[in-house]
């Protein structure tokens, strides 16, 4: 089965909560993923940071490959790395179902999106709060997903920037129904409804999930808030 089939699943089940594993307990990754599956999540978000494009450094190919072995859930891999064109093949081989690159990290994001599609993987493009939508206008016809950062890429636990809402609303009016809009950074019970109202369909959530002992109730609450607009 084509891994792009998972893209159709994301579209079908949206709005969706995607836990960012950045804040999970990596000493017990198997149990963490099982708990998230039991909480009803339908996809996982993996934040890859290289210490160059962003000042922080997280994990890389071995962890993605390990997570792939632990779950059949679609893996939404967010590449916060320089020269992503050099790495998309490796991350596809590691098990990514969707690869999102940053427009700021490549001299030709359109070419990278085309390369991702040739790997039979869904392709996304992301921008930071300071980057205008004009920077990705040439990517709209190539992207399966547009990721709007409400915080500068590189660290978890940051506060939500309302500029993301303006971008999401503008995008929803411009993009066709097959292009998913994802929002990442500061998404919680106080902000998710506004994101959904603006037009977002996928919601990356980190601390709002992993700061709780039980994941199920908070995932359900967030999903309900996202669906009630």
Which residues are the active-site residues? Answer: 47, 184
**Which string of DSSP letters, residue by residue, matches 38-71?**
HTT---EEEEEEBSSSSS-B---HHHHHHHHHH-
Name the residue among 156, 103, 95, 150 with its Cα closest to residue 126: 103
Both tokens of 52, joined, read 């160059």
SS3 226: helix
Can you tell me the distance from the alpha carbon of 120 to that of 173, in angstroms, rounded to the nearest whole number?
28
Q: Are the C-beta atoms of residues 127 and 148 closer than 8 Å to each other?
A: yes
């Amino acid at each position: 089965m084509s891994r792009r089939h998972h893209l159709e699943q994301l579209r079908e089940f949206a709005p969706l909560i995607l836990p960012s594993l950045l804040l999970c307990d990596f000493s017990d990754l198997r149990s963490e993923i099982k708990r998230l599956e039991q909480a009803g999540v339908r996809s996982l978000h993996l934040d890859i940071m290289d210490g160059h494009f962003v000042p922080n450094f997280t994990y890389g190919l071995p962890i993605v490959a390990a997570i792939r072995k632990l779950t059949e859930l679609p893996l939404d891999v967010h590449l916060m790395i320089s020269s992503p064109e050099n790495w998309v093949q490796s991350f596809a081989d590691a098990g990514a179902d969707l690869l999102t690159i940053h427009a700021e990290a490549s001299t030709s994001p359109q070419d990278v999106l085309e390369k991702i599609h040739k790997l039979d993987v869904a392709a996304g493009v992301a921008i930071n709060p300071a980057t205008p939508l004009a920077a990705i206008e040439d990517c709209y016809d190539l992207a399966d997903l547009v990721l709007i950062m409400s915080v500068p890429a590189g660290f978890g636990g940051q506060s939500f920037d309302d500029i993301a809402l303006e971008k999401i609303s503008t995008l929803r009016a411009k993009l066709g129904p097959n292009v998913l809009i994802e929002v990442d950074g500061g998404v919680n019970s106080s902000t998710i409804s506004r994101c959904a109202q603006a037009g977002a369909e996928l919601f990356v959530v980190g601390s709002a999930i992993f700061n709780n002992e039980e994941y199920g109730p908070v995932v359900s609450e967030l999903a309900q808030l996202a669906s009630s607009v």
